[in-house]
Amino acid sequence: MQVFTPVLTLEHLSKVTAASAEREWHSDWGYSPSEWHKAYPIAQGNRQSPIDIDSARAVYDPNLQPLVISYESCTSLSISNTGHSVMVEFEDTDDRTAISGGPFQNPFRLKQFHFHWGTTHSQGSEHTIDGKPFPCELHLVHWNARKYATFGEAAAAPDGLAVVGVFLEVRIAKIARLHDKKLTDALYMVKFKGTKAQFRGFNPKCLLPLSLDYWTYLGSLTTPPLNESVTWIVLKEPIRISVKQLEKFRMLLFTGEEDQRIQMANNFRPPQPLKGRIVRASFKA
């Protein structure tokens, strides 16, 4: 499903600064990825995301450190419908809620997480593994606060962001790995575009798989402004979600309460050309 809404002009894009990068991310572009290059020429750049990860061609790098995820002190603030996804935002004033290790020299603070999903179980994730998509993908977005003063500044820099991608797979079982129902139970509060609700006391550690084996590569945001500012960490092991939980995501809307209702689904960008980039693995195939 595609939603056609006004996009920003090239003239406007030329004026985008680091200070406006965060605002730009949430502007009113439409979910039609094949059209994005007209307003965002970087869509055809050399390090665009997502990609298809060819597991046989990924290079095992013994120098990659284990990924360290420190979410014990996190403070969730709100849940919102951005018109493109559902997003949970966090307090990010210090490094107590951060990722480190992996390919990183500095810790990266957790800013927010959001999801991408499809109308059916056969599609929905942005990254694919050996050509195989998953029905949903979680993105935990972090920024390099040691080097940059604001999230917006980091989002405009080539080493500013680190995003952890987690695949969600549907399992027909009584207990799903996405066991903290607080998240999916809160989705009804943000059904319409532009709605926001307080969302306290949620620790995203429950959204992580047991294994933190990962692939990593240099890429971009997968939504406009498509900045090539992301070091991607794509976890090998998916988490489980129930059919009922996934259906709650599909009840969200791309549109506002006064608009014609359009189901929020297929909010994913397809894999982009690798263009010579190397995908490294923290584990032996």
Annotated active-site residue 139? The verdict is no
Residue 21 to residue 173: CA distance in whole angstroms: 42
In this structure, how many other beta carbons lie within 10 angstroms of the beta carbon of residue 49? 23
* Burial of 97: CB neighbours in 10 Å, binned 0-12, 13-18, 19+: buried
Task: Find the catalytic residue in 12, 26, 37, 84.
Answer: 84
What is the number of alpha carbons within 13 Å of residue 151 lying toward its C-beta? 17
* Burial of 246: CB neighbours in 10 Å, binned 0-12, 13-18, 19+: buried
Residue 109 to residue 92: CA distance in whole angstroms: 6
Q: Give yes or no for a contact between 202 and 210, defined as CB atoms under 8 angstroms apart.
A: no
First to last CA, the chain: 36
Report the candidate in 213, 59, 2, 215 with the shortest Cα–Cα distance to residue 128.
215
Whose tokens are 């002009």? That residue is: 9
Report the candidate in 275, 219, 213, 202 with the shortest Cα–Cα distance to residue 238.
213
DSSP string spanning 183-211?
HHHTGGGG-STT-EEE--S--GGGGS-S-
In this structure, how many other beta carbons lie within 10 angstroms of the beta carbon of residue 87? 21
Q: Which helix (H) or strand (E) holds 151?
A: helix 151-155
- Secondary structure class of 257 (helix, strand, coil): coil
**Which positions are catalytic?**
84
